[in-house]
């Protein structure tokens, strides 16, 4: 296999950049500076006098804050080196990072949002001067309605969990207005949903009931029937799951919840496999959200800022966080006139640069491109599944009931762990040696033993998938023949195995440099 040989040569040659870069405080030298600050002119100085004396003595800073002192070139070099020790979607293969939809973020969209026409506008400017920003927010909202089958969107939530919290607040408000909040104090979720579907309703004051999958990988309809009662406020769950399984009972669940008087909020954070193929609003969902940093290509930013617009049905639009962008036929405006609003769940209106990026991405894809996205994402995933299942020690739980998956799949290395002692921890420490991003394992609790969850979105080539599969194959071979290579990994990374003992030891952990100096200095 000529192709495989090429892959081996390339991947085996990988060496990460290892600068052994000091903490910036260790590079500091008293007297250096990295910026020249604007100072007031003489007239201003003369007019205002010693303003600092207006601050009462007790509130004045006595000594300068201990910030590092470096020149501009030194600051640049330090952070460029740190960036070189980071691994983005642009750096290589991030197929392992499931649930995250590590797709390509188009460069043209960066150029658009970094324009002063967006970057330098203030959220409280006169509406006449921000018509462009409002127009794009409004138009994206309409497009997301079309894609989801919902009636109205809010761009306010700044991350997926934030959106789920906002939806939980809306469900709460809905029952409060009906005078049933005291009675309806239970929220139902499923354990394979994203954890925020449990955490957010709990943070909103609901008691959370969690359904577990039966032997087919999804909950039993009877289990839901047994869980609903007059206390049911609603259902908050993810579909498709991050096992890549589509929960086909969704229609039944929603019907049961509605009959019990609850609302259904279906988490569409990862909608990459269903774009143009399923609209959760058509299925009966009352609320949903999308993660623009997943399905809609906005860059993940090393973990944010993301953006997660929420969509609701008409009956719930009166509860949306204020303001909502509206259009009166000639002008766009911020509509605060929603007497039943939940209020606000973040400052201002959302991560607007991501709104613009998503708008531009959808336009580039177009209607047929969205369908092509979901098609290729699903083809990619099933192609990868059949490759990985040929590897010794790798299994796919629920393979019998769900041989085909949507956007991703949750595999298990339990067999390999039992046979070689090497499981997913070893896999993740070794795979980075090949210049491939580590794998996402799974959210807690451990339903699948020794899990790992790759997701190959549409922007990955067949060659990427072959290389990823090659690396898993290689690690399996090593685990069964030369396990010490895996056990001592990583070998080619910026650093060697870390000491994780400070994780639970208050005497050792240090979340800041000053704490480090106090405890270890």
Partner 1 sequence: MPVHPYIPNSDPEVKKEMLRALGVKDAEELFAVIPEKIRFRKNLNLPPSTPEYEVRRHVEQILAKNKNSNEMLTFVGGGCWPHYVPAVCDEINSRSEFLTAYTGDVYSDLGRFQALFEFQSMIGELVGMDAVTFPTYDWPTAAGDALRMAAILTGRHEILVPKTINPDRLSVMSNFSGSLARIKHVGYDRQTGQMSLEDLKSKISTNTAAVYIENPSYLGFIETDCKEIGEIAHDKGALFLVGVEPLSLGILAPPGEYGADIVCGEGQPLGVHMSYGGGSLGFLGCHDDERYLSATGHRLISITKTKREGEWGFTFVLPERSMYTGRDKSACITGTSTILWAITGAVYLSLLGPKGIKELAETIMKNSYYTIKRLSEINGVRVPLFNSPHFEEYTVNFDKTRRSVREVNKALMKFGIQGGKDISSEFPELGSTALYCTTELHTREDIDKLGSALDEVLR
- Binding residues for partner 1 restricted to 461-490, rule: CB under 8 A: 461-464, 490
The 3-state DSSP class for residue 429 equals helix
Q: Which residues contact 235 (CB under 8 A, 6 or more apart)?
A: 187, 188, 189, 224, 253, 254, 257, 262, 263, 264, 265
Decide if residue 182 touches partner 1 (CB under 8 A).
no
Instruction: State the nearest-atom distance from the C-beta of 219 to partner 1, in Å.
Output: 16
Decide if residue 301 touches partner 1 (CB under 8 A).
yes
Q: Which is nearer to partner 1, 8 or 121 (CB)?
A: 121
State the greatest distance between any 2 C-alpha atoms of the chain, in Å, as a whole number: 82
**Binder among 266, 352, 396, 475 for partner 1 (CB under 8 A):** 352
Size, binding site for partner 1 by CB under 8 A: 218
C-alpha closest to that of 153 among 143, 168, 165, 162: 143
**Using an 8 Å Cβ cutoff, are 165 and 204 in contact?**
yes
Q: Is the omega angle on the peptide bond into residue 46 within 30 degrees of 0, that is, cis? A: no
The 3-state DSSP class for residue 436 equals strand
Give, as ranges, the residues between 33 and 72 that touch partner 1 (CB under 8 A): 33-35, 37-41, 43-45, 47-48, 51-52, 54-56, 58-62, 64-70, 72
Decide if residue 250 touches partner 1 (CB under 8 A).
yes
Q: Which is nearer to partner 1, 16 or 223 (CB)?
A: 16
Region of 245-253, 259-267, 388-396, 475-483 interacting with partner 1 (CB under 8 A): 245-253
Q: Which is nearer to partner 1, 72 or 418 (CB)?
A: 72
Decide if residue 494 touches partner 1 (CB under 8 A).
yes
**Binder among 6, 10, 15, 117 for partner 1 (CB under 8 A):** 117
For residues 50 and 203, give the distance between their C-alpha atoms in angstroms, rounded to a whole number: 48
Q: Which is nearer to partner 1, 305 or 415 (CB)?
A: 305
Q: Which residues contact 93 (CB under 8 A, 6 or more apart)?
A: 435, 436, 437, 460, 464, 467, 468
Instruction: State the nearest-atom distance from the C-beta of 118 to partner 1, in Å.
Output: 6
DSSP 44: H
Decide if residue 198 touches partner 1 (CB under 8 A).
yes
Joined together, the tokens standing for residue 257 give 């919840």
Decide if residue 199 touches partner 1 (CB under 8 A).
yes
Decide if residue 346 touches partner 1 (CB under 8 A).
yes
Q: Which is nearer to partner 1, 159 or 423 (CB)?
A: 159
Instruction: State the nearest-atom distance from the C-beta of 138 to partner 1, in Å.
Output: 10
Bridge pairing between strands 207-211 and 186-190: parallel
Region of 214-222, 259-267, 275-283, 412-420 interacting with partner 1 (CB under 8 A): 275-283
Instruction: State the nearest-atom distance from the C-beta of 70 to partner 1, in Å.
Output: 6
Decide if residue 131 touches partner 1 (CB under 8 A).
yes
DSSP character string of 322-384:
SPEEEE-SS-EEEE---TT----SSSTT--HHHHHHHHHHHHHHHHHHHHHHHHHHHHHHHHH
DSSP 128: G
Give, as ranges, the residues between 376 and 435 that touch partner 1 (CB under 8 A): 376, 378-380, 382-383, 386, 402, 404-406, 428-429, 432
Residue 478: phi, psi to the nearest 5?
A: -65, -40
Decide if residue 201 touches partner 1 (CB under 8 A).
yes
Decide if residue 221 touches partner 1 (CB under 8 A).
no
Instruction: State the nearest-atom distance from the C-beta of 448 to partner 1, in Å.
Output: 16
For residues 449 and 452, give the distance between their C-alpha atoms in angstroms, rounded to a whole number: 9
Decide if residue 237 touches partner 1 (CB under 8 A).
no
Q: Is the omega angle on the peptide bond into residue 357 within 30 degrees of 0, that is, cis? A: no
For residues 479 and 473, give the distance between their C-alpha atoms in angstroms, rounded to a whole number: 10
Decide if residue 235 touches partner 1 (CB under 8 A).
no
Decide if residue 122 touches partner 1 (CB under 8 A).
yes
Decide if residue 327 touches partner 1 (CB under 8 A).
no
Instruction: State the nearest-atom distance from the C-beta of 167 to partner 1, in Å.
Output: 12
């Amino acid at each position: 296999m000529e192709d495989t040989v090429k892959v081996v040569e390339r991947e085996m040659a990988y060496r990460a950049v290892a600068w052994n870069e000091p903490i910036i405080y260790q590079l500091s030298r008293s007297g250096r500076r990295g910026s020249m600050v604007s100072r007031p002119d003489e007239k201003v100085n003369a007019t205002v006098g010693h303003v600092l004396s207006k601050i009462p003595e007790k509130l004045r800073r006595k000594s300068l804050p201990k910030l590092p002192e470096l020149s501009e070139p030194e600051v640049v070099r330090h952070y460029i080196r740190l960036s070189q020790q980071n691994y983005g979607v642009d750096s290589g293969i991030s197929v392992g990072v499931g649930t995250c939809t590590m797709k390509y973020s188009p460069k043209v969209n960066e150029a658009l949002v970094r324009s002063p026409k967006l970057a330098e506008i203030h959220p409280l400017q006169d509406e006449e001067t921000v018509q462009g920003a409002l127009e794009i927010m409004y138009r994206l909202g309409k497009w997301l309605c079309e894609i989801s089958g919902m009636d109205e969107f809010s761009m306010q939530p700044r991350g997926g969990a934030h959106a789920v919290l906002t939806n939980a607040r809306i469900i709460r408000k809905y029952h409060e207005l009906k005078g049933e909040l005291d009675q309806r104090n239970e929220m139902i979720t499923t354990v394979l949903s994203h954890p925020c579907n449990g955490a957010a309703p709990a943070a909103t004051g609901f008691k959370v009931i969690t359904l577990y999958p039966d032997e087919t990988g999804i909950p039993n309809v009877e289990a839901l029937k047994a869980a609903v009662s007059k206390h049911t406020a609603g259902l908050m769950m993810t579909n498709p799951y991050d096992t890549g399984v589509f929960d086909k009972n969704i229609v039944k669940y929603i019907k049961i919840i509605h009959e019990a008087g609850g609302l259904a909020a279906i988490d569409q954070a990862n909608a990459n496999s269903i774009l143009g193929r399923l609209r959760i609003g058509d299925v009966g969902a009352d609320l949903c959200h999308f993660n623009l940093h997943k399905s809609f290509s906005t860059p993940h930013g090393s973990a944010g800022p993301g953006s997660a617009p929420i969509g609701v049905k008409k009956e719930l639009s009166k509860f949306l966080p204020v303001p909502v962008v509206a259009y009166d036929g000639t002008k766009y405006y911020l509509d605060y006139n929603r007497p039943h609003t939940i209020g606000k769940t973040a400052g201002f209106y959302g991560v607007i640069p991501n709104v613009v990026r998503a708008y531009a991405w959808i336009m580039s894809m177009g209607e047929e491109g969205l369908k092509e996205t979901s098609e290729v994402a699903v083809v990619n995933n099933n192609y990868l599944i059949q490759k990985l299942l040929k590897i010794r020690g790798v299994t796919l739980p629920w393979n019998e009931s769900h041989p085909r998956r949507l956007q991703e799949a949750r595999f298990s290395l339990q067999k390999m762990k039992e046979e070689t002692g090497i499981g997913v921890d070893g896999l993740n420490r070794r795979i980075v040696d090949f210049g491939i991003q580590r794998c996402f394992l799974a959210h807690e609790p451990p339903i699948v033993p020794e899990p790992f969850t790759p997701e190959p979105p549409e922007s990955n080539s067949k060659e990427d998938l072959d290389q990823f599969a090659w690396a898993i194959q290689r690690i399996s071979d090593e685990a069964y023949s030369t396990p010490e290579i895996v056990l001592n990994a990583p070998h080619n990374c910026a650093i060697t195995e870390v000491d994780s003992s400070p994780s639970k030891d208050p005497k050792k952990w240090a979340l800041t440099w000053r704490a480090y100096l106090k405890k270890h200095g």
